[in-house]
Structure 1
């Protein structure tokens, strides 16, 4: 059996929680194949130079790429897309790489440029229409150089990459309608470690005691940010509506954003100081907090391209048996929740309370085992393994 060497590029720091929650699962799967000899994992470090990190996965070694982080984002990004492909090409040649993998459209662009004029094949995992949704959300304008550049390379990836892994079935259908060949498209959602994320009443009660929340309180949780691709003021409007609907409501907010701004929003929503807890915690601590909750929020903004999402937080919520309150048209998940009844899908964004009034009935009919099975069906790591088996069998 021919052995192969892989290069996997993430677009985030090796220390970033999204790297641990998404990319590491792919690295674990890939390292488990007998024919894989080694995996070179490259991260992009934007806050100073770091030494290679010891990755606790067999066959995987780390090579950090260091962004210059100069004044002005445009200059820094331009240099990244000029310098990194050269560094990656050097690694491809040095380690005799057979397959390059880029996590997301930006990383995919970098490996496509690096693999040019080499025998290495190109795969883009977590493929999404990043440029399109940044424009749809108004974050990038039509003539923004970032939009023009990434939109150009998204089109290139669709034509030139050997395989694309969209994260939702809905977006795969869109790509098929665009004429992308069926054989290069594989739906691979953001999967969840079901051993780390699972119901645990004891740990949940311990967190409640630590936060001074009682067993009788109804606790909602949100993991993530406010603003940008997520709701900002609208999120606090939702929380205000739920606070009126649910007696003894308590909230846990796990975020890396600064507390004062979020505290002000929660107070506007009518929550007293002892009704909420805000913190930034390590990814391995998140399951304990999820187990302290009765339900979860997702504040991703819906837009014409939001069907391409697969939020990792949804899988983690499901794995811990939590119902989700979320907008319509988010990846495959809104449709799954509508069909299963495992949460509340807010369709009326101008009057969210219309749909949020359904929440008490959902909470009265808790079904954590059924909800955890949604994670087993839609976000289990075996989905990743099955797809890579298909890809590597022909490499």
Structure 2
């Protein structure tokens, strides 16, 4: 009998602040939950909490070893405070009833609940994707620094840093930031950027003829953006950048937007940029369909607002773009990714959010596309995904935490 089998099954409570259908659960949580289960003895269980908006949007997660616990979501405020109180009470009972060993929260908003449950039950706390969320919300204009939401989350980020047994950050620099902002911690630190399934985001999805025909993109230069606009991301600036691309490539340029925003929200920004609606293909699809659409592009955009706290985040989409061999236009000082793109010459870093900055970025990407075939770019850029975004790195981290 192996040592793992002798230890007996474990039970872990994983808390997220996202819905079950959200790509952050599908690509940024579930792959790592499976790694946790592989590291633990046979028969171990993970109780996975998701927060669902009212309505029939919940997608049940049914996998061996995963018990899905969906709860109703409310934004911060009176309803949000009631949600957190009720959720904390129910999870505290669940921890005791099912003899859960560890509380594992994804990002600091979920970490607020995780912290309280850990204190009330005495269970060790793990904070995954430990980033300065409170500061980011102020920097991008969503919250006021003097507002209750910022003050509350910042307080809980400090408490999480002090209590956690393990802190998993997205960049190495987060450790120094936490020491300056939150004070000393005795936690074990790990660094895990957002990894990517390189088997799904791979060559078989690049420029699929059937998809190109279906969307009318054959022979076109296709610019891609995947995700939301506004909040932590730029909005109008994305369309102004695509205008510079349209002016460079002319009638041959098309834009593929994979976004939950309805077209009615996007059309005013298209119009302000002077872009015709006809050059856009807009889709909102399940994440399972994303690789086949992403692979139709020639380059992609990561328009995270370039605020100081974003040096410590990790855009999931960059790993997916790189795995498909796409040059990326990114804003400056985003995670380690801006530096990687500049160092390896696999895209362009936007030094300014104005017409000269957009034109410079487009010309740098055009030089890449003109200087190599799509296959050659794929082979070159994919190596960056394998080096910096491999699941192997994450697997080792969860083995150390849960394979003890």
Q: TM-score, normalised by structure 2?
A: 0.90
Q: Secondary structure at the match of 1:339?
A: helix
User: What does 1:1-395 correspond to in 2, within 5 Å?
Assistant: 1-3=6-8, 4-35=10-41, 37-48=44-55, 53-56=60-63, 58-67=64-73, 69=74, 73-175=76-178, 180-181=184-185, 184-200=188-204, 204-215=208-219, 217-247=220-250, 248-350=252-354, 351-356=356-361, 357-366=363-372, 367-394=377-404
| Cα deviations by residue, 1:131-156 (Å, 9 ceiling, x for unpaired) | 00111122111221111110110111
Residue 182 of structure 1 and its aligned partner are, at CA, apart by 7.7
Contact 1:85 1:113 in 2 (8 A): yes
Instruction: Identify if the C-alpha distance between structure 1 residues 180 and 191 changes in structure 2 by more than 3 Å, giving closer, same or farther.
Output: farther
- What residue is the counterpart of 2:3 in the other structure? none
How many angstroms apart in 2 are the aligned matches of 1:284 and 1:52? 13
What are the Cα deviations for residues 35-86 of structure 1, in whole angstroms up to 9, with x where unaligned? 2611111111221488892423x2111122234x4xx851111112211111
Task: Report if the CA contact (8 A) 2:20-2:59 is conserved.
Answer: no
**Aligned-partner Cα distance in 2 for 1:90–1:78:** 19
Alpha-carbon distance in 1 for matches of 2:358, 2:59: 49
Q: Which stretch shifts more, 290-299 or 258-267?
A: 258-267
Tell me, in whole angstroms, the C-alpha distance in 2 between the residues paired with 1:182 and 1:381.
Answer: 27
Q: Secondary structure at the match of 2:308?
A: coil
Shift in alpha-carbon separation, 1:205–1:34, aligned structure 2, 3 A:
same
User: Partners in 1 of 2:40 and 2:168 — Cα distance?
Assistant: 22
How far 1:25 sits from its partner (Å)? 0.8
CA contact (8 A) 1:243 1:269 kept: no
Structure 2 contact 206–296 (Cα < 8 Å) conserved:
no
The one-character-per-residue Cα deviations of 1:269-307 (angstroms, maximum 9, x if unpaired) are 343343220111111111111111111011110101110
Q: Provide the aligned C-alpha RMSD in A.
A: 2.1
Which ranges of structure 2 fall in alignment gaps of 5 or more residues?
A: 1-5
Q: Secondary structure at the match of 2:224?
A: strand
Equivalent-residue separation in structure 2 for 1:137 and 1:295 (angstroms) = 26
Q: Aligned equivalents of 2:39 and 2:236: distance in 1?
A: 47
Query: TM-score under structure 1 normalisation?
Result: 0.92
Q: Provide, for residues 335-371 of structure 1, a one-character-per-residue CA deviation record: whole Å limited to 9, x for no partner.
A: 0000000111111224423532322112223421121
What is the aligned length? Answer: 389
Distance 1:242 1:172, change over 3 A: farther
Structure 1: unaligned runs, 5 residues or longer: none
Greater Cα shift, 294-303 or 233-242: 233-242
